[in-house]
Amino acid sequence: MKAFKLKTLVFAAALVGSASAMAGSATATMTNTTTIPTVCSISAQGFTNNYDPVVANTTTAVKDATASVTYTCTNGGTGALISLSGGNNDTGTSDAPARHLTGAEFHDLLAYNLYSDTNYQTVWGYGAADTVSAIEDGAAHTATVYTQIPAGQNFHADTYSDTVTATITF
């Protein structure tokens, strides 16, 4: 019986000894970081219409149409601005572009312009004074570009085009 008690005590001591060997702990912390930069993306859709110089000359009617600029900027940015270049045939300045559509065959220059307002009063340019502020909330937005071809232009029957670059600066 003494041998049994002795074996039990030795076994119990071994258990206590092994439990105390695993009784400690240590901790460490890790810092997790991500950065969301101020980022914007932009795309543009131009206008297509038919300009009738006979009607435009006799009624002094202008030809209006719309185009669009779609953009998304990260939430919390400040000061993003959308500008529209003068196109391939600009004869004006950055704050007052004088855009022209070029005829494919006869190379006539048909005047037109792009505006940021429905009244066709504010030319949408590429100088500091004529850009449009972007909404920076992480959602997609579409800005309407109001286009106008002035009346009184009498040119050849042709297909006229121009390429304007939309830029968002953030």
Which of the given ranges, 7-11, 23-27, 47-51, 59-63, has the highest pLDDT on average? 23-27
Q: What is the pLDDT of residues 106-150, one digit of tens each?
A: 999 999 999 999 999 999 999 888 999 999 999 999 999 999 999
How does residue 164 score in pLDDT terms, banded at 50, 70 and 90? very high
Instruction: Please tell me the predicted confidence (pLDDT) of residue 151.
Output: 85
Mapped to the 3 state alphabet, what secondary structure does 83-120 carry? EECCCCCCCCCCCCCCEEEEECCCCCEEEEEEECCCCC
The pairing of beta strand 99-103 with beta strand 109-115: antiparallel
Q: Which whole number is the average pLDDT over 54-75?
A: 83
CA–CA separation, 123 and 5 (whole Å): 102
Per-residue pLDDT at 49: 87
| The predicted structure's pLDDT at residue 78 | 86
Contact in structure between 82 and 71 (CB atoms under 8 Å) = yes
Q: What is the pLDDT of residue 144?
A: 98
Query: pLDDT (tens digit, 9 = 90+) per residue, 65-111?
Result: 999 999 999 998 889 999 999 999 999 988 889 999 999 999 999 99
pLDDT band at 158 (very low <50, low <70, confident <90, very high): very high
pLDDT at 3: 56
| pLDDT-based confidence at residue 16 (cuts at 50, 70, 90) | low
Domains of the chain: 40-169 (2.60.40.1090)
Give the pLDDT score at 80: 96
